[in-house]
Chains A and B, each alone.
Chain A
Amino acid sequence: MIFRKLLVGAAWLLLAPLAHAALTIEIVGSGANQIPISVVPFAGENALPQGITAVIAADLQRSGLFKIVDPAGVRPEPHELAEVNYPDWRTRGADALAVGSALPRSDGKLEVRFRLLDAVKQAQLDAYSYVIDRAQTRATAHKIADLIYEKLTGDVGVFSTRIAYIVKSRSHYELQVADADGYGAQTVLASKEPIISPSWSPNGAKLAYVSFERKKPIIYVQSLVSSQRQVLAQFKGNNSAPAWSPDGKQLAIVLTKDGSSQIYLINADGSGVKRLSYSSGIDTEPSFSPDGAAIIFTSDRGGSPQIYRMSVSGSGAQRLTFEGNYNVSPRFSPDGKSFTFIQRVSGSSFHVALQDLASGQMQVLTDTRMDEAPSFAPNGKMLLYATEIGGRGVLAAVSSDGRVKQRLSTQAGDVREPEWGPLLKN
């Protein structure tokens, strides 16, 4: 169970034996049927500097799969199982209910207790308790949202993940990392020269990126723990488009040291560079399949930029996209069955698209117009991308069926080049 792996440093234990009731809540496609859930304010929450249930509700709502039922007015406000009067919640249309408490302990830590209840079957679905430092309050709220999401949809929650992106203000560039809901942004690198193409290592501990600080594109790898960084590739010409292999031991990169932009493999310590693609055109934007056996990439070897797939040894390149004359920025889905990319529909209209590998069926997911750099959430259910609204670069998200659309960022400056980080496995 992924959820348990997510618990870093937070002591947890199961409360009562779980009923493991079969879910009565039917999910028919993302966003088609929203699960009505009420998240009741936790006992003791008001005394905390930041809330818990507001974060949980916002997470669930943002996924598009839940309808938040307002709990206001139910008296007494339930925090424990015995205090729940199920008909109150059925009347309001809630199929599920989250109750709990966040109370200080004598050692200064916080004990957060939480139950997920099926209001239809009048049964407990899950219950957890965490002893946390107060600084972990928000992270714990995300973990609870992940638990609810997984329990009620059957898919892994991604509310505890992080995202990386670039903020440009005038001629100032910052590589930032933030929680998936945009909170807690931290600057990883600030520069007066452009930064592009951040790429998360599979364990979430490092970022590879391309910086122009030495007047040309050079690839760096930086630890998010120590902030230490090293040059990964600074060969003659351009060094760009880093993509980690699923085992984190190698990266696919793009170099021009031998002529046109071509794809190479390099060890994560910068050793052992090896050329993979041999075309006379442009080969760039590599993305590994989840099993590490294949790479999809952009190539204009056929006259216009299109998406191709080759084996990780560089052999058997095969064209995948045939609609339109500009298809770029491919990324494998986490299950390896599909890929996302950017399709240019007319001269200045760029959209996020999704293509099934087996059938070749393609779907345009977005109606925004200047879309770039799509990346999958680690559960494959949402895609994060950059677009432009009102002349400003912003981040947006769309569900993989195109039904749920979100705008993620309203901060100042141009935000671009997002990449959704991995699930943390500690």
Chain B
Amino acid sequence: MKKVLLSTLLVSLLAACAGQDVKDQPQAAVEDRAAAQTQAGADAKPTGQQSVTANPLKDPSNILSKRSVYYDLDKSDVKAEYKPMVEAHSKYLTSHKDAKVAVQGNTDERGSHEYNIALGNRRADSVKNMMNVYGVPNSQIETVSFGEEKPRATCHDESCWKENRRSDIVYQGE
């Protein structure tokens, strides 16, 4: 039982760290899509010569700092507005073979917990499949579904539900 408690504690700590990054991201993926698209061409180049100080994954002016794909109700297709962002991450991954991402699928709170696990999985898969098309091997992508279990927004109307119908791209070590 102690082992269980300890591992639970560790997991919680890890979760707290991981959660921090997610929260720190500007929740602007939807609103910022124009900016994101214009940056796509410039920033999506292989960044082998990246500066020591600026982490492109954290730089708010870099499209790679955008991590979330949002979905319509019951849907799991990646809408066109998010393709430049997924493409940019794909290019980063193909040029950084040691980098790995977890794609985390989420749903809003309505309906069955179990169906939402499956729907969140399909949302994460849709991002992974697009990355595959851009040349990222499965070995660099892990998908996981949180279903409706880890809502970022906690109110009970569409303003929160649309925020929670989402996949997040999280880099290993973040």
Contacts and interface: CB of A to CB of B under 8 A. Distances in A.
Interface of A: 191-194, 196-197, 210, 212-217, 227, 229, 237-238, 240-241, 254, 256, 259-261, 282, 284-285, 298, 304-305, 326, 328-329, 342, 344, 347-348, 350, 370, 372-373, 391, 416-417
A282 B115 CA distance: 8
A391 B160 CA distance: 14
Contacts of B143: 237, 256
Contacts of A260: 118, 121-122, 125
B47 interface: no
B11 A213 contact: yes
Contacts of B14: 215
A328 B149 contact: no
Interface of B: 1, 4, 7-8, 11-12, 14-15, 18, 73-74, 110-115, 117-119, 121-122, 125, 143-147, 149-150, 156
Contacts of A254: 114, 117-118
Given A285-B114, A342-B111, 5 more contacts: A196-B149, A213-B8, A254-B118, A256-B145, A260-B125
Contact of B114 (A214, A240, A326, A347): A240
B115 A285 contact: yes
Contacts, number: 111
Nearest to A285: B114
26 contacts: A192-B8, A192-B11, A192-B15, A193-B11, A193-B12, A194-B146, A194-B150, A213-B8, A215-B15, A216-B144, A237-B143, A237-B144, A238-B118, A238-B145, A241-B114, A256-B145, A259-B125, A261-B117, A284-B115, A328-B114, A329-B112, A329-B114, A342-B112, A344-B110, A372-B113, A391-B156
B8 A238 contact: no
B118 A261 contact: yes
Given A215-B144, A329-B112, A256 B121 contact: yes
Given A238-B144, A260-B125, A348 B110 contact: yes
A417 B113 contact: yes
Given A193-B12, A237-B121, A237-B144, A326 B74 contact: yes
Q: Kindly name the residue among A217, A238, A391 whose own CB sees the greatest number of chain B CB atoms within 10 A.
A: A238
Contacts of A328: 111-112, 114-115
B117 A238 contact: yes
A254 B147 CA distance: 14
A417 B118 CA distance: 17
Nearest to A262: B118
A372 B121 contact: no
B118 A282 contact: yes
Nearest to A212: B149
Contact of A372 (B4, B112, B150): B112
A276 B132 CA distance: 27
B12 A192 contact: yes
Contact of A305 (B1, B11, B115, B125): B115
Contacts of B119: 282
Contacts of B150: 194, 212
Contacts of A217: 117, 145, 147
A304 B113 CA distance: 16
Q: Kindly name the residue among A285, A350, A417 whose own CB sees the greatest number of chain B CB atoms within 10 A.
A: A285
A197 B146 contact: no
A304 B115 CA distance: 11
Query: Across chains A and B, which 10 residue pairs bring their CB atoms closest together, nearest first?
Result: A261-B118, A194-B149, A328-B112, A282-B118, A192-B12, A216-B144, A241-B114, A284-B118, A329-B112, A196-B113
Contacts of B1: 227
Contacts of A347: 73, 110
A370 B111 CA distance: 8
Nearest to B76: A282
B73 to A, nearest CB: 7
A269 to B, nearest CB: 19
Contacts of B145: 216-217, 238, 256
